[in-house]
A and B are shown apart, each in its own frame.
Chain A
Amino acid sequence: MLRHQGPSFPFAKEGELMPSPLLEVHKIVKEFPGVKALQGVAFDLLPGEIHALVGENGAGKSTLMKILSGYYPYGSYEGELSFEGKTCHFHKIKDSERAGIVIIHQELALVQKLSLGENIFLGQECTRGFGIIDWDQCWTRAQELLERVGLKHKPQRLLKDCSVGEQQLVEIAKSLARNAKVLILDEPTAALTEEESLRLLSILRQLRKEGVSCIYISHRLHEVLAIADRITVLRDGQTVGTYPRAELNEDQMVALMVGRELHDRYPRQTRERGAKVLNVKDWTVLAPDQRLTCQNINFSAFKGEILGVSGLMGSGRSELFMNLLGLWGKTRSGTLELDGQPQRFRSPQDAIEKGMALVSEDRKRYGLVLGMNITENTSLASLSRLTRWGAIDAETEIQKAQAFRQELKIKSSSLEQPVGNLSGGNQQKVVLAKWLLTEPKVLILDEPTRGIDVGARYEIYKIMNELVARGVVVIMISSDLSEVIGMSDRILVFHEGRIAGEVMAAEATQERIMAMATGTLASPSTH
């Protein structure tokens, strides 16, 4: 098995002195009422190192980062934190930023309607003094910073005109403007496509050369292996160990994270394709700005199979399904048959009544009412069927919610817990419960495991299999290629608003799907 390693510098040539750590935490203990989130965590970061932090949700990664960044002020935890050899007492986020530690959250702290330049200097504008902005200086410095992160846009461009991947890079430029010595990235690629992720990783490598260290938190283990110099695994608020990259592979990492071996990350089942349920012909979608988003889409979905949908973000895959359900854009042409009956859903409620359900990729925005509790969220899409004498039948509502809570193993203190307090995996299960309660014929899952830890992921896969076995048509949209291949029976690949191809999962490889998705099928990349 793997042995635990103390702090070591992977690139130190023999005979060289080990560089002293840039950032070091020692025996950190952080307690919340009733929970010990961190129980003596040790962690160190060397100068010019990319150090990955992995662990299941709730392992304590975010808590540790909030301590490093001063979100939890000095004194609210036990243990020691030192930076550049000095003990640090950060009382607020500004303190850590001044020292050179900048944290970039999953939800970007940028203003959509401001320009890139304004965003980069947000809160520390270039001024001529007296609070008057020096625009010339702002634009020139912003231009330099944008180039450093590999963006070719003008600094005057508005942030909302950039893709999510580009916005992520703007956020990094912003931290560079604050002279960051340590970048903390929390799930930076969760919202990015494979291509954008690769770009981000290469920028991080570039910054490493320039001496910027990075703490990289991600559930995407292949990325971790691609970029990290060392990897620290956290489990249940404790450090399992710190390992040089060369010593770990994905399976070993998963085993360390969950504390046991997961033999198969994808519970694949052999099953037989059944009747055709959904048939879409010549479907063409116009975006609200009249842009053609999807053209001449033709596909069918069957009982007894999981239909995977792959493609880069912005390839029109999510938009197509939202449009099919009447949630987005305009349908210019096309026919849709459900169980052989032609349908055109006039509204989302119409689609839901006819048996369509869509679990959106952004569960906090489109899936849940965070202030409402589990019961209320579960019943949200089925309220009209849960009434008696015009009132919500509280009895039935609670029974149904309770049944799903048990079936889907939603971990919560009670049914009355607001879903905002649940972990990502449990939130996703509540969204699933909501849609399963509508008794759908077709269940479309858009990025069903994004930002969810390994254990909960596996449970969601099992639920999907169970649904297929019960005769629900499951369509899974995903950017995670290994997930698409691992879970689907058949895969549709989108490229620029069209279906570039269809492959049976058994014959699919990541390279082949990527080639279709990027439109380079003629010369598939082989490396």
Chain B
Amino acid sequence: MTGTRWQDTLKHSFRENIREYTMIAALLVIWFGFGFLTEGIFLSTRNLSNLFVQTATTAILAMGMVLIIVAGHIDLSVGSTMGFCGALAVMSMIRWEWTTVPSMLLTLLVGTLIGAWHGYWVAYRKIPAFIVTLASMLAFRGAIIGLTDGQTLGLEMIPDALTADRFKALGQGYLPTFFAEVQEGQWHDSSLVLGLVCAVAYAWGEWRQRKARLKHGLSVLPLPLTLLKALLILGAGSVFFAIMGRYLGIPFCIILVMALALALSFVTERSVFGRQLYAIGGNADAAKFSGINIQLRTLGAFTVMGLLVALAGLVSTARLNAATTSAGQNAELDAIASAVIGGTSLMGGEGTIRGAIVGALVMTSLDNGMSLMNMDITYQYIIKGAILMAAVWADMASRKA
């Protein structure tokens, strides 16, 4: 292979993945920028670990939002319904004295039904998703107040202490160690093992994919570049697990996010359901003519969103120790912004799960960093708005080129 062709491949692959690279670059710039501005506090293992936990809620919502937006719709209700689900869970444990698992199951069921309800009106009654979910955004904010009598429901109000502890673990707990208790600053054995497992699984998957592509004559990066890319990703993964491992280990909610990301990536990239969602968003007429049941798929997307909203509600309530009437306010906007920053096209038919997660990290990093700097809330909102505009503008500009 000649030198020029090698460079061409590199250039080509760079151009194809430019959006992902710029996103990751932007994230690093933000991190090191805040690291500098906060004199390193932002980059401490403690803060980064916190940051990841904070990201969990937004990331879960953003992943669901990818499905909805890819299918050509939008969900404005996720903030309110997430708050409602959280309140319902706490309510069931306080007032009805349910234990953790039943109340979580109830919450997941209710969330799923709310999603299906949206899907029904959008798919079968042809009401624009914007309107259906706007209605829910208002209605469920009211329902939260009705359910909680306008009170903040703290987890300490749960009569059964074990129930409360178990519930809290979802938002505040860490993976237990194999051996003795470890302190902050010591290596957390089980987290590192989990990291190792992930690394091996990743390397194996990547290798298999490369072999399959070669077999079918599809273009692949030259071997050294593949190795370089794999090393970079493994390196980033190691840093991530090292941060977690140095600080109390992997939180449960991060394991949940990773599992969801894996499952939803599978759905979007490998399942019939996912492929059909992309086709519907890309060209609904062609999808219909190809025998795709658009209504059922739309219903499916909203139902999955509902389940994810319920999960996000549980995680955020468990993390914040309470269900409040304002829980989840503006969460829909963070979720949409994360998806869009992550490359999801509001025109439908385009978007990735991993992009949404990076987008969620960007949004949460801004929140976290600006709070650490004690920045005036006025500017926090303005800056977040500006970043969203800039991200989409950069995306549009790179598409044109």
Contact = CB atoms under 8 A, between A and B. Distances in A.
B212 A369 contact: no
A384 B216 contact: no
Interface in B285-333: 285-293
B282 A381 contact: no
Contacts of A376: 275, 278-279
Contact of B293 (A349, A360, A380): A349
A402 interface: yes
Contact of A366 (B217, B266, B276, B289): B289
A383 B285 CA distance: 17
A398 B215 CA distance: 10
B283 interface: yes
A414 B286 contact: no
A392 B271 contact: yes
B290 to A, nearest CB: 4
A384 B272 contact: yes
Interface residues of A, number: 35
Contacts of A348: 288-291
B218 A415 contact: yes
B216 A390 contact: no
Interface string B202-219: 000000000010001111
Interface in A161-211: none
Contacts of B276: 383
A359 B285 CA distance: 13
Interface in B212-232: 212, 216-219
Contacts of A392: 270-272, 275
Interface string A355-397: 0001010000111111110001000110110010011101100
B272 A369 contact: no
Contacts of B287: 369, 380
A337 B109 CA distance: 45
A434 to B, nearest CB: 7
A109 to B, nearest CB: 20
A365 B285 contact: yes
Nearest to A413: B219
Contacts of A349: 291-293
A380 B288 CA distance: 10
A351 B290 CA distance: 10
B293 A369 contact: no
Most buried by A among B275, B279, B290, B292: B290
Interface in A395-428: 395, 398-399, 402, 414-416
B289 A394 contact: no
Given A376-B275, A387-B272, A371 B349 contact: yes
Contacts of A399: 216
B367 interface: no
Nearest to B209: A394
Contacts of A365: 283, 285-286
B289 to A, nearest CB: 5
Interface in A309-361: 327, 347-349, 351-353, 358, 360
Contacts of B349: 369, 371-372
Nearest to A365: B285
Nearest to A380: B290
12 contacts: A348-B290, A369-B279, A370-B282, A372-B279, A376-B275, A380-B275, A381-B291, A392-B272, A395-B212, A398-B218, A415-B216, A434-B290
Interface of A: 327, 347-349, 351-353, 358, 360, 365-372, 376, 380-381, 383-384, 387, 390-392, 394-395, 398-399, 402, 414-416, 434
The 3 A-B pairs with the shortest beta carbon distances in the complex, nearest first, are A369-B282, A349-B291, A381-B290
